[in-house]
Amino acid sequence: MPDSRPNILFIMSDDHAAQAISAYGCGINQTPNIDRIAAKGAILNHCYVNNSICTPSRAAILTGTHSHVNGVITLDTPFNNHLSHVAKHLQAAGYQTSMIGKWHLGEGPEHSPTGFDHWSVLPDQGDYFDPYMIENGRHIQEMGYATEIITEKCVDQIRQRDKDRPFFMMCHHKAPHRPWLYHPKYEHLYNEEIPYPPSFKDDYANRAKAAVHARMRVESDMTYLDLDLVQPYIPAEGQEYSDIGCKTGLMMVPFPKTPEAYRDFKLICRRTGQVFTFANSEELKRFKYQRYMQKYLRTVASIDESVGHLLDLLETEGIADNTIVIYTSDQGFFLGEHGWYDKRFIYEESFRMPFLVQYPQRIRKGITVNAMASNVDFAPTWLDYAGVPVPSYMQGYSLRCVLEGDEPASWQKTAYHRYWMNQDCNHNAYAHYGIRDHRYKLIYWYNEPMNLPGATAATFAEKDWELFDLQEDPLELNNCFHDQDKKDVVIHMLRLLDEKQTQIGDVPAHDSRTVLAMLG
């Protein structure tokens, strides 16, 4: 007799900001197929990542635990595949399990996927075109565009499934990860000017120094590769160009130093040879932003097309009503907010994950969920719906009750974030942790050393607190931590932070008694 438990199709892209999904109402682009999930089910407004960087987020999603527990705290920390995780539990309970696409949790016998009956993954970041893949341990090369290849592999697995057993599939796209290489068929999209977000020209006044020092500004830190431009040959001793960081060696697109220099300054498209000239710095800055957003949104268009193919397949196979479909990203992303691209920070655009889910048998159509959720909640949710006991090591909570319209009074009221990669060589993002409730966000930039070359004690002296009133200041431009009328709020949020760190076993870098004494 066929197993009646629901199938679970988890679709996750890489670096897809919620503001680039039209169901979230930001108006930047259109994603009609992703929106179909929200129309048929639920959209979450307050889903957050525990550590806003790819590898740690993926480990948290698999294990239902925070970074300090699963051991994956940085981008370069591989996942120990001997650890228990959600796919192993579902596999043991009779589910057909598969992982297709971006793994990004390490390579080799100790770090390749386990708990999956079938896996076909991109090594490391993977390539957009003609990618090499590792399929059940065998290295192969696939010809075509990564998003379409991953989609077709998922389609094949669903069609070839054992129809008497439910399946759990993790469909992990590479896109829209940097350098945002899109399929040529989308070249025509987004050629009209895209407006700057309201905080694009943020001057970082009255803010922690971390915002000032971060190297991820669209204006000054984008590389020739990012913008699909010809990178000129520069002799090794040339010093007039900056280097983006110790890993890439890719030069950032320079600004001419004087107005007169713009007469001879030009940029050339790597693919078409088109030449771009600029009258002044504002024109060049606008060009960089438009070029970035065009590339990013065009890669998203392929993801949306992929989602449509998978949703249509479920309908064709007659299993749409008994399949939980989730669309999310491994974290948020800056699309020019605060002048930035990339992620890492607890600021909202990076911290917030998109989350859309349909399950017609249990979740009502077209609902909006405002309950707090986190990526550590995903695994317990899948186990709950599958009728599998949630193991005691998992730190998240099943979202089933809030997805089905019943938010208990005891439901979690906060979301926690901790970023461990202090002053990484590419983006110089400071280590920090913090907590958010429905109105306020408290952040501590503790900036502890990570054995960087040339580091001194003075390098790590910049410890700082931030408090944002998200009701009065949704763009997070005004740090009100030191405002006298917010003293009680600081004390309250500090208590919530201490309680959360105690609950999940994370060791703080601050002493609350010292902070309270400082407040007076």
DSSP 269-316: BTTT--EEE-SSHHHHHHHHHHHHHHHHHHHHHHHHHHHHHHHHHHHH
d(CA 442, CA 495): 11
Confidence band for 448, pLDDT divided at 50, 70 and 90: low
Quick: pLDDT tens for 361-412: 999 999 999 999 999 999 999 999 999 999 999 999 999 999 999 999 999 9
Which pLDDT does position 2 carry in this prediction?
A: 74
d(CA 50, CA 172): 19
Give percent of the chain above pLDDT 90.
Answer: 84
Which pLDDT does position 97 carry in this prediction?
A: 98
Which pLDDT does position 519 carry in this prediction?
A: 79
Which pLDDT does position 244 carry in this prediction?
A: 38
Which pLDDT does position 454 carry in this prediction?
A: 52
d(CA 234, CA 351): 38
Please give the domain boundaries of the chain with CATH numbers for all domains. Answer: 12-166+173-183+297-357+369-407 (3.40.720.10), 416-519 (3.30.1120.10)
Whether residue 176 is preceded by a cis peptide bond, meaning omega within 30 degrees of 0, is yes
Which pLDDT does position 407 carry in this prediction?
A: 94
Exposure string (b/e) for 21-49, b if CB count within 10 Å is 16 or more? bbbbeeebbebebbbbbbebbbbbebbbb
Quick: pLDDT tens for 160-215: 999 999 999 999 999 999 999 999 999 999 999 999 999 999 999 989 999 999 99
Confidence band for 514, pLDDT divided at 50, 70 and 90: confident
Helix (H, G, I), strand (E, B) or coil at 223: strand
d(CA 233, CA 231): 7
Which pLDDT does position 260 carry in this prediction?
A: 87
pTM confidence score = 0.94
Quick: pLDDT tens for 198-209: 999 999 998 999
Q: Is the pLDDT of residue 243 over 90?
A: no
Q: Which residues are paired to 11 by β-bridges? A: 171, 327
Q: Is the pLDDT of residue 35 over 60?
A: yes
Task: Burial-class residue 235 by CB neighbours within 10 Å (0-12, 13-18, 19+).
Answer: exposed
Confidence band for 270, pLDDT divided at 50, 70 and 90: very high
